[in-house]
Chain A
Amino acid sequence: MTNYADDEDQAAKVDARQNVSRRSALKGGAALAVLPLTFEGPAEAQPTAPMVAGVAVEPAHSVLLSTSVNGKVVEFRVDARSSLLDFLRERLALTGAKKGCDHGQCGACTVHLDGRRVASCLTLAAKAQGREVITIEGLSDGEGLHPMQQAFIDHDALQCGYCTPGQIMAAVALVNEGNATSKERIREYMSGNICRCGAYVGIVAAIEDAASKMRRA
């Protein structure tokens, strides 16, 4: 379902251009702990700033990120400013999580980080270091749909569909949190996900339906 091969090749090329000793110093868990001691940037001279996603970035302003996305470990050098959302969309081509407001107000970017739902637009990509990210692309474990995806179809819980991946990721987390106990509670715990088409009635019905199926599964 997902193919990061091209991007991984690119990432490898980016890293290959960098000084080897610098790279090995940044390897693994030590990567982020080492940086505080070198605010001036790397001691060894860099002929040119390395390219990250086609943009020149000073090594001191980037981080080497190793994280698990939908069960697959990926390693990329990222601009420290990058959000987890931009990393997923622009570097991994996982465009399921949507950029709505980019300020944590709309919920369209919702993904799971270590099993908890978060707004990926307000999560620095660097914070995903060593953690597990699940996006809508990785929600179903096989060819079929997750019960929540099926329920959204069955209950007509969308119109334009832009907010839907975020709604579904939030809804699955809501059920796992034990908050699908009443319509009122579902509404309260889905309030971070805005649907401008106004499909809320269908969304609540879909969550109630999927919750009973998820509990049986």
Chain B
Amino acid sequence: MQPFTYTMPRTVAEAIAAFRQAGPDASYIAGGTSLYDVMKLDIVRPRHLIDVSAIEGLDAIETGRDQLRFGALARMSAVATDKTLLRDYPVLAESLWKAASQQLRNMATVGGNLLQRTRCLYFRNGTGNPSSVGLYPCNKREPGSGCAAIGGLDRGQAVLGQSDACTAVSPGDWPVALTAMDATVELAGPDGSRAMPIAELYRLPGDTPHLEFMLQPGEIITAIIVPKTPAGRRSTYHKIRDRESYAFALASAAVALDMDGDHVRRAHVALGGVGTRPWRARAAEQLLVGQRLTPESALTAGRAALEGARAGKHNGFKVDLGARTVADALMIAAERSA
């Protein structure tokens, strides 16, 4: 790991000032569960770490007003056990407690979680030698070097949103739930503050898979806003993994339903584990409006959610698994009382 300076500012303004002074080789760090991990693999090599975790007043969880507001530094474990969320927005709470382990949830923040790096095996296969492109080429790790996952061991790779340059899966659960629930992120940076729909935070890989987030240099996520909706109670985060706990999703679905009897008034559907970014399934949502929800109509919606999926050599199962995960999630959510 390359040596770096380490600073711990106390305010957002101090953090941004430190970033401006440190220049392009600086990086913010919060919980560190993703960044410190890829630093140990020599994939990311900051020369200046600006630890934002001691900034005061950025960890509040506010559920009492007309919208849900999560300070970026709220711990995953704190938000996962918030009583209002568990009752009124289970999709949000479940996406957090089904992610990581309790140790990591105690460290990681809900803001930092949005910027988690992919678990693509080829991306993570650096050799620890800063002058090397790693054991295998990776366009995300070393732009222009190629992608060994395409045509390689691609069981875990994306079937939606991939390009000829990259098929790495967006790894998060919480971002998928937030995408389904129309969240907004608040940002502060050298050029001031702004808000951005979470759907706009994530880039498709295209020709530039090394660019993952629509953040300007020096910008910090300060809060996450989720509009309140009656669909929150009939919601779930359904996550299918190789083992029952503490694993990344093979396929996952965040759904929330506004029902009129057994008919769907409005549906929120997003997928994880199958796409190169959190994947909103608008076609599935529209298909469900006005429909009676049955296992058959749920599976039809699930198939629509995977429309346009392209499989590689070993990940074809994700197309069917994704559709069935959406269908199961819809039936689970529908059984919850509004």
Contact = CB atoms under 8 A, between A and B. Distances in A.
B85 interface: no
B8 A32 contact: yes
Contacts of B32: 122-124, 127
Contacts of B8: 32-33, 35, 126, 129
B29 to A, nearest CB: 8
Given A35-B6, A129-B8, A122 B107 contact: yes
A61 B36 contact: no
A81 B77 CA distance: 26
A77 interface: no
Contact of A36 (B14, B106, B245): B14
Interface in B15-55: 17-18, 21-22, 29, 32-33, 36-37, 40, 48-51, 53-54
A191 B103 contact: no
A104 B5 contact: no
Contacts of B1: 81
Contact of B5 (A35, A83, A107): A35
Given A116-B106, A188-B245, A126 B22 contact: no
A124 B27 CA distance: 14
Contact of A122 (B17, B37, B244): B37
6 contacts: A61-B4, A117-B102, A119-B33, A124-B51, A126-B8, A177-B102
B3 interface: yes
Given A37-B21, A124-B6, 7 more contacts: A57-B3, A104-B33, A104-B103, A116-B77, A122-B104, A127-B53, A173-B102
A60 B5 contact: yes
B42 to A, nearest CB: 12
Contacts of B40: 102-103
Interface of B: 1, 3-10, 14, 17-18, 21-22, 29, 32-33, 36-37, 40, 48-51, 53-54, 77, 100-104, 106-107, 244-246
Interface string A62-104: 0100000000000000011101000000000000000000111
A123 B40 CA distance: 12
A135 B29 CA distance: 25
A73 B17 CA distance: 32
Interface residues of A, number: 42
Nearest to A41: B5
Contacts, number: 111
B103 A118 contact: yes
Contacts of A179: 102
A137 interface: no
Contacts of B9: 33, 36
Contact of B103 (A79, A124, A170): A170
Contacts of B244: 191
B166 to A, nearest CB: 22
A150 B21 CA distance: 53
Contacts of B3: 57-58, 61, 79-81
Contact of B106 (A80, A107, A118, A193): A118
A189 interface: yes
Contacts of B107: 118-119, 122-123
B7 A35 contact: yes
Contact of A187 (B14, B29, B77, B245): B245
Contacts of A170: 102-103
A113 B33 CA distance: 15
B279 to A, nearest CB: 26
Nearest to A110: B103
A192 interface: yes
A174 B104 contact: no
B5 A39 contact: yes
B109 to A, nearest CB: 12
B246 A80 contact: no
Given A39-B22, A187-B245, A174 B102 contact: yes
A188 to B, nearest CB: 5
Contacts of A60: 5
A33 B21 CA distance: 14
Contact of A104 (B17, B21, B104): B104
A118 B102 CA distance: 8
Nearest to A125: B6
Contact of A192 (B18, B49, B101): B101
Contact of A189 (B17, B22, B102): B102
